[in-house]
Structure 1
Amino acid sequence: MTVRFFGSAASALFRPNSTTMSPTKVTIVGSGNWGSAIARIVGQTTKAYSNEFDPTVRMWVFEEMVNGEKLSEIINTRHENVKYLPGKILPENIVAVPDLVQSCDGSEILIFVVPHQFVKGICKQLEGKISPNAHVVSLIKGVSVQENGTGLKLISDEIREYLKCPVDVLMGANLAPEVANDMFCEATIGCQTRSVHGPMLKRLFHTDNFRISVVEDAHTVELCGALKNVVACAAGFTDGLGYGDNTKAAVIRLGLMEITKFVEHYYPGSNLSTFFESCGIADLITTCYGGRNRKVCEAFVKAGKPMAEVEKELLNGQSAQGPPTAAEVFHMLEATNLISSFPLFVAVHRICQGEMPPSGMIDCLRDHPEHQA
């Protein structure tokens, strides 16, 4: 395979291998459903570009016992994550490591793919212990709250603050089971230094069935990935109430309006074209029809049980990111007196908290400001 390299201004990490430089080591931080699916891709590309990447890819595994066996040992001997991605073989160059710091030791690319509420704890463990040339690619769809409680913080900013390294993001219409089944899909990398780092990151993730586009509008890419989960909750509520595709189309349209308004208000300077990338409208559509947030919220309506209980029953240890993201968005809207401008986001939060019946979702759609002009 012929490999081309771009950008004379690239740092040593992003220059081709030479007699004085070793291939770039890659670690995947996380081994859930999505982490295991992306491991199948990265396992392929690192072998294909073995003069650029070290083909041995370490994957940090939160150690669990599965039928009396350690999950890490199952992955390393049978090459299958039997708990989170059963039935799909991982490439043999994916090596499970249960020690977080050890898994990242010497790696120059760290692919973060964990629930967003665990990022701070992971970063604190890694602080000061990673390669000085480390570069993070975040696949995490969520946001965090600033310590003073008055606003949101992008996950990429939180990682950057702790680890003092560049952070780019990968988002898109990427339901993990379909990616694991090698079904064709697209994804978007938001890279602030596209001309320098973009080509190399594209090689790391781009395959025949996982097609990558790279844009510099990284904050928009990341926010689309987080906020679409809130809209997917709204879609799940309407599904649970028995409404059809016309109603879901309204949820998607009004949700997209709130996403674009939110991004432009709090993070001005976004490019309209980014919302039409895979990270934008495509991810919104697929999540509102097939994602875990939609599934959990539909079941929440039908079962009448607390959200946490439904999540535990349906997701096999995984978590839905929509409800906590909705809570974090709500607190920011409340702190900035903009609750009335984002009724769909607010309704999702209140329904998840039990402060509003699910039927209130329809009232929210019916009375949405977009219909008042």
Structure 2
Amino acid sequence: MANKVSVIGSGNWGTTIARMVGTNCAEKSSLFEKKVNMWVFEEKIQVDGKEYKLTEYINQHHENVKYLPGTKLPDNVVAVPDVKDAIAGSNILIFVLPHQFVKGTCESIKDLVRKDAFAISLCKGFEVTENDLIMISDVVKNTLNISCGALMGANLANEIAMEQFAEATIATKDESQGRIFQQVFNRPFFRCAWVDDVTAVECCGALKNIIALGAGFVDALGMGNNTKCAIIRLGLMEMMAFAEEFYGCKNRSVFFESCGIADLVTTSYGGRHTKLGKLFVTTGKSFEELEKEHLNGQKLQGHQTAEKVYKMLEAKGPADVEKYPLFAAIHRVSQRQMKADQIFECLQNHPEHM
């Protein structure tokens, strides 16, 4: 029996993914059912003076005019406004929505998911609880009682929508599922490598958002590439050390896959965290204000992740905070507890070996 795929989410990255997945499902009829449902949070939009439901417009014009304008979707990608209908009958679930909505979405569909289903998360963030940062794949796995992997990488959605070559990292515990996901996602312009360390891959996707804020602070100060690259290098060191200390990720080679250093560099030069990190310093506005002005409904994760990371370090004692001076400094700048140019004072005696 062919696999049936559903995409849960329809922002610019979700729509880009649905475009690639839909094309692959149409081309690989022996592996996948052709129709791909894409769950779309229903909203009203105005196009040329006429009001549409977003799902109605997508299905009529094969374009997500709000989140990925100018890019055509294949005819077999169908926008569905009810997530329960969107996942009906599917055994492959692709989660690509803001991380803060994953838990509630999973709760709403947990009684309808096929017992043989498996999932993958493309959500770059953690589920933040009072005491911990939980992997989104674990949220999906524990709520739906199915296995869940992760896909992360240097993936700016608009560039991939234009079919500019990019890489990503797929992580699954089960290699056979990983190979199926490669068939789901791989395109001539999109290459996915497979690894088995889901936790390390997700740590990369979430922690790099903290460092990208720091890169934005550097831009706001008018610093050049030397300074930004120092932030990236030291940030990568702290990411690896934190993932090992708190999550047992000892295989540091994962951090040199696309999900690690490549995603960190890309985000630090072209991502929304860097853009808004710069504006946070130059305008004095809050992240919430900047989100409303610049992100078209999307959210940042970096400052919230930085706050939780700081609290986790603080709970272990002052010595642990001192081991991660860049994480600590970015958190303090994000909370207006210190000025952006004071970051460099914190880095003068950065630990050389973490």
Q: TM-score range by the shorter chain?
A: over 0.9
| Alignment partner of 1:82 out of 65, 73, 76 | 65
Q: Does 1:172 align with 2:156?
A: no
Residue of structure 1 equivalent to 2:190: 210
| Alignment partner of 1:349 out of 314, 323, 331 | 331
- TM-superposed CA distance for 1:130, in Å, is 1.1
Residue of structure 1 equivalent to 2:280: 300
- TM-superposed CA distance for 1:74, in Å, is 0.9
Q: Give the AA of the match of 1:316.
A: N
Distance 2:264 2:223 in 1: 18
Task: State the SS of the aligned residue for 1:162.
Answer: helix
Residue of structure 2 equivalent to 1:95: 78
Q: Does 1:40 align with 2:19?
A: yes
Distance 1:127 1:331 in 2: 32
Shift in alpha-carbon separation, 1:91–1:364, aligned structure 2, 3 A: farther
Distance 1:348 1:128 in 2: 41
- Contact 1:238–1:361 (CA<8 Å) still a contact in 2? no
Distance 1:160 1:134 in 2: 11
- Contact 2:306–2:327 (CA<8 Å) still a contact in 1? yes
- TM-superposed CA distance for 1:270, in Å, is 3.0
- Contact 2:220–2:281 (CA<8 Å) still a contact in 1? yes
Distance 1:69 1:348 in 2: 42
Q: Give the AA of the match of 2:325.
A: P
- TM-superposed CA distance for 1:110, in Å, is 0.7
Residue of structure 2 equivalent to 1:239: 219
- Contact 1:217–1:270 (CA<8 Å) still a contact in 2? no
Alignment of 1:275-314 (within 5 A): 275-314=255-294
Q: Does 1:251 align with 2:234?
A: no
Residue of structure 2 equivalent to 1:56: 35
Task: State the SS of the aligned residue for 2:352.
Answer: helix
Residue of structure 1 equivalent to 2:136: 155
- Contact 2:213–2:302 (CA<8 Å) still a contact in 1? yes
- Contact 1:238–1:362 (CA<8 Å) still a contact in 2? no
- TM-superposed CA distance for 1:170, in Å, is 0.4
After TM superposition, the score normalised by the length of structure 2 is 0.95
- TM-superposed CA distance for 1:268, in Å, is 1.8
Distance 1:198 1:76 in 2: 30
- TM-superposed CA distance for 1:285, in Å, is 0.6
Distance 2:290 2:334 in 1: 11
**Deviation sequence 1:32-55 (CA, Å, 0-9, x none):** 011011111101111111121111
Q: Give the AA of the match of 1:107.
A: S
What RMSD, in angstroms, separates the aligned Cα atoms of the two structures?
Answer: 1.5
Task: State the SS of the aligned residue for 1:66.
Answer: strand
**The 10-residue stretch of structure 1 (360-369 or 293-302) with the greater mean CA deviation from structure 2:** 360-369
Q: Does 1:360 align with 2:345?
A: no
- Contact 2:154–2:264 (CA<8 Å) still a contact in 1? yes
Aligned residues: 348
Q: Give the AA of the match of 2:36.
A: V
**The 10-residue stretch of structure 1 (326-335 or 46-55) with the greater mean CA deviation from structure 2:** 326-335
Shift in alpha-carbon separation, 1:246–1:143, aligned structure 2, 3 A: same
Residue of structure 2 equivalent to 1:222: 202
Task: State the SS of the aligned residue for 1:85.
Answer: coil
**The 10-residue stretch of structure 1 (323-332 or 108-117) with the greater mean CA deviation from structure 2:** 323-332
Distance 1:53 1:193 in 2: 19
After TM superposition, the score normalised by the length of structure 1 is 0.90
Distance 1:269 1:350 in 2: 26
Distance 1:60 1:334 in 2: 39
Uncovered stretches (5+) of structure 1, i.e. residues with no partner: 1-20
- Contact 1:115–1:321 (CA<8 Å) still a contact in 2? no
Residue of structure 1 equivalent to 2:168: 187
| Alignment partner of 1:273 out of 253, 256, 273 | 253
Distance 2:343 2:296 in 1: 27
- Contact 1:251–1:365 (CA<8 Å) still a contact in 2? no
Distance 1:173 1:346 in 2: 25
Residue of structure 2 equivalent to 1:108: 91
- TM-superposed CA distance for 1:277, in Å, is 0.7
Task: State the SS of the aligned residue for 1:150.
Answer: coil
Residue of structure 1 equivalent to 2:300: 320
Uncovered stretches (5+) of structure 2, i.e. residues with no partner: none
Task: State the SS of the aligned residue for 2:42.
Answer: coil
**Deviation sequence 1:66-91 (CA, Å, 0-9, x none):** 11211111111111111111111111
Q: Does 1:339 align with 2:318?
A: no
- Contact 2:199–2:249 (CA<8 Å) still a contact in 1? no
- TM-superposed CA distance for 1:269, in Å, is 4.3
Distance 1:287 1:76 in 2: 32
Q: Give the AA of the match of 1:199.
A: R
